[in-house]
Structure 1
């Protein structure tokens, strides 16, 4: 009897799209698969901002437990949700080719940009970068899966809301009125998908090799190393984007205060074939410039 690979996933529409993408690609390689959807803690606790919950990996922990208990064989995640340190025994088995890495602004007209306005987001990174550019605006919290957040935006008197482009594109929910925020540095690994398995599971790790995109893995690896060195987890206003163009790797990194008024930003170009340790080195530059003190302040403000 053919071995079936049990794929763990959150049960939101976007998460199921991602898991089905992995399922389809594995089946095209000749493997048999079955989906095992679960509801993650972050999908259940919608009455508090993410940073107040104080839980690392709030969207991945439930699947980590299922993986370690061998109730599933692999788990599919939005890579930006995955903590920079995986649980003992769990490894990154594949990084799929990256989708759109950008943030977009959904709006009901752009007149508010030159005046007062209310913008919805549950991300401290988006909040800080928006307030840096539009300090007179009010930020309101926005939680839930993509569909829930879209419904809230449409039914509340907010001027705009910020979303990841990839999520809306993948499940065909991109509205007519939106603007791409090219100036906003995305979350590390935004737009990418990671598949994890147990380190000991050679069958699944071998099966997933065909799905692995090396260029995406290199770029997201640098971004996540940058994040890890700054010790931001998913709660500090930290952005990072690495892109390979020909033989060059282009990198942007940013750390901001919660109100967006203090900014540490860098742009770098390096050889794409020699990327080891770059994320750590560039994060250390920011820390030495005063980023270490800012990180201490942020942790105190968030009660960590």
Structure 2
């Protein structure tokens, strides 16, 4: 009787050529199914994002009035933006908004998320309350804050009643208009990052925090050495998304101040809107839009490179 080979292949042995050949039809079939399901999304991405982006790049190279002759200018529109003092001021306004808004948004969101830790009762109610401004339409929020900021409004009336002083002309002063827009934007937008941070803090093992507390670590030490390293991925996500959206700020200054006084609160997106829909210069508007695109992509790239030094994915 022939001997039977009972040798078992060691674990981790790569599949044979026959097994790989047998898997190929299944992989091709799965790939076809995936293509069918992805086609609507990819079609929408190409039609509503990639194509308009490419068209904007092409238009930015032309003197493209809505009505009139269109002529090729090359980088003439970009040269005009470089030497336009209004556009330089607009860029500085946008950077100032980002510098003020992003750190304050993150600090307020993180502080409230830490305060409403898992040990707080009724925290679900606070989560809903803090997120309500995010769900409320931006225009409605801005109109309410416009009533608060205007002379004779709630803030002005409260200061006169309680302290006998007049509030500054928040929306009519070049010194106060941008801080007023930042304050309104923080109130409207902190709830999103608050939920992100709150969810990340919920994932921190309570056993580690309790062990550190038993060893004598105080609240700040527990946050610094245990909580903070574990929520850095969420911090990276929140700061990156907040940076991107803050560079695109439009509704708040457009409704609150119309970019004024003068151009003190005009942002890059407002400049694009004005050039495209008020002055009907689509070439210049497209060039300004691409400048904003490059700025956002550069800041995002710096974020992704720098996150290797402070984001901890190993916990």
Where on the TM-score scale, by shorter chain, does this alignment land: which range?
A: under 0.3
Q: Select the structure that is richer in strand.
A: 1
TM-score (norm 1): 0.24
TM-score (norm 2): 0.23
Q: Select the structure that is richer in helix.
A: 2
For the pair shown, the structure with the greater C-alpha radius of gyration is 2
The structure whose RCO (Cα within 8 Å, separation 6+) is larger is 2
